[in-house]
Each structure stands twice: as structure tokens, then as C-alpha cells.
Structure 1
Amino acid sequence: MLTLHLADAVRTAWDAAPLTGAGVAVEGTRVAAVGPAAELRQRFPGARERHWPGVLGPARVHEGPLPEAPSPRERVHAVLKLGAAAVLAAAVDTPDLRDAARRTDVAVLPAVRAAAVVPGGRADLAVFDADGTCLATVCAGRLVHRRR
């Protein structure tokens, strides 16, 4: 199903200028389009809409060790709660951690890469409030964390 993720501001990269009143169209695991909300609604009529307060942009790459938690699944989920949808291979150094990352579609990268929201790219998104708290994380097009 196609989903429009709409926010107060959208950044295609964290160092890019914000687009106000904009959003990201996600189809399956990929970004279908980025642009003004009105244009996305016109281009994708009938799409499900999710409205987010704050700034929507690319999900982060978690660069350090995974946070401590009772299980590998919870360690991976702790990263998602920080707005990351990718981890470094060195951080998932056991079969259980690699399996937990795979099951949640968290990307395992050999090195840090610049994160960006681009049409055709993997739909890894995060929403942050003014304090920098992660409100939501979308990993490969699937909402995997939402702060209540």
C-alpha cells in the first residue's frame, strides 16, 4: 500500500534545507516521491496518510555498539527508537544480532554512509521533534517505532 508521510518539515538529507508542508510517498520498501503535500496527494490519490509533528528525514546509521538490552531483538529495537534504520556490521557481531537485524529489515553496512531520502531509494525515514527526540522510525517502508 502506498503511504504519504507528511510532516511540518521534510529534509532529504540532514544538511539540506527543509521543505515545509511536504512529505514522502512510500510504496513498499522504496521512496516513490518527495515533495509538497498537495502535489503528493494529487499524484497519489487514495494513498494512506500519516501526519507527523516535527521534522521528517532520512533514518540515521547507528555508528556504535548496540545499546544493552535483555535480548538481541530488544537491542535492535533500541536502535530503531533512536531513529536509526542501519547499523555497522561490526556492531552486529553475533549470529543472534545479525538475525534480529535481518528480521526487522535493519540495514547492516560495512561502513558509515550518508543518509538521504531519494526517489527509488530504500524508504528509511525518521521523525524528530524540536528536542531531537525520535518520534517515529520507518525501516524499509514499514513503521517500526512510534513514540506515544
Structure 2
Amino acid sequence: MLTLHTAPAVRPAWDAEPVADGAVAVEGDRIAAVGPLAELLERFPAARVRRWPGTLGPALVHEGPLPDAPSPRERVHEVLKRGGAAVLAGHADEPGLRAAAGRVGVAVLERSRPVSLAEGGRADLAAFTEDGRCVATVLAGRLVHRRA
């Protein structure tokens, strides 16, 4: 099912100008389109709509050590709660961390890379409130974290 993730501001890249009242169309694990909500509603009238507060943009690369937690699964979940979709290999070298990341779909990278929302790209998104709290993380089109 195609989903439109919408927010008052959508940033195709974190250093790009925001699209006001924007949306990201996600079909399966891929981005189908990025643009103004009104245009994407016309293009995809049967889409399910998820509305997020604040700013929606590409999920982040978590560049430091994974947060402390009792288990590898919980450490990876802490990354998701911060809007991360990828971690650096040098910080995911403890037993179980790579396996836990792989089970949920968090990428393990040798080095950091720029992140962006691009048509045809993997649908890794994160929504942040004005005070910087992550309210949603989407990995490969699946909502994996939502803050109430």
C-alpha cells in the first residue's frame, strides 16, 4: 500500500530548503515521490496518509557509539528512537550488535555518507519536532519507531 508521510516541512536533504506542507510517497521499501502534499495527493489519491509534526527528512547515520542499553536489540532500538537508519561498523563490533541491526534493517556502514530523500531510493525517513525530538523513524518503508 502506498503511504504519504506528511509534515509541515519536508527536507529532501537536511541542508536543503524545506518543502512547505510537504510529503514523501512511499511504496513498499522505496520512495515513489517527494514534493508538496497537494500535488502528491492528486497523483496518489488512494494513498494512506500519515501526518507528522515538525520536519520530516532522511533518517540519520548514527556516527558515535550505540547508546547504552541492556541488550543489543535495545541498543539498536535507541538508535531508531533518535532517527537513525544506519550505524558505523566501528561502533557495531560487539557480539550481537550487527545481528540486531540486520534484523530490524539498520544499515552498518564502513564510513558515514550523506543522506537524502530521492525517488527510487530506500524509504528511510525520520520526523523531528521543533525541539529536536524524534517522533517517527521509518526504515525501508516500515514504521519502526513512533513517539506518542
Structure 1 runs not aligned, ≥5 long? none
- Measured against aligned partners, the alpha-carbon deviations of 1:75-119 in whole angstroms (never above 9, x if no partner) come to 000000001111011111134111110110001111000010000
Partner of 2:116: 116
User: For residue 45 of structure 2, what is the amino acid of its counterpart?
Assistant: P
**CA positional deviation for 1:141:** 0.9
1:23 aligns with 2:23: yes
User: For residue 111 of structure 2, what is the amino acid of its counterpart?
Assistant: A
User: For residue 48 of structure 1, what is the amino acid of its counterpart?
Assistant: R
1:89 aligns with 2:89: yes
**Distance verdict in 2 for CA 1:20–1:79, change over 3 Å:** same
User: For residue 62 of structure 1, what is the amino acid of its counterpart?
Assistant: H
1:61 aligns with 2:61: yes
Partner of 2:143: 143
Structure 2 runs not aligned, ≥5 long? none
Partner of 1:127: 127
**CA positional deviation for 1:45:** 1.8
SS in structure 1 of the partner of residue 131 of structure 2: coil
User: For residue 146 of structure 2, what is the amino acid of its counterpart?
Assistant: R
User: For residue 103 of structure 2, what is the amino acid of its counterpart?
Assistant: R
**CA positional deviation for 1:134:** 0.6
CA distance in 1, matches of 2:103, 2:47: 26
SS in structure 2 of the partner of residue 53 of structure 1: coil
1:6 aligns with 2:43: no
User: For residue 128 of structure 1, what is the amino acid of its counterpart?
Assistant: F
Q: Which runs of 4+ in 1 moved over 2 A?
A: none
User: For residue 45 of structure 1, what is the amino acid of its counterpart?
Assistant: P
- Measured against aligned partners, the alpha-carbon deviations of 1:107-139 in whole angstroms (never above 9, x if no partner) come to 111100001000011111100111111111111
User: For residue 127 of structure 2, what is the amino acid of its counterpart?
Assistant: V
CA RMSD of aligned residues (A): 0.8
CA distance in 2, matches of 1:107, 1:33: 22
Partner of 2:103: 103
TM-score, normalization by structure 2 = 0.97
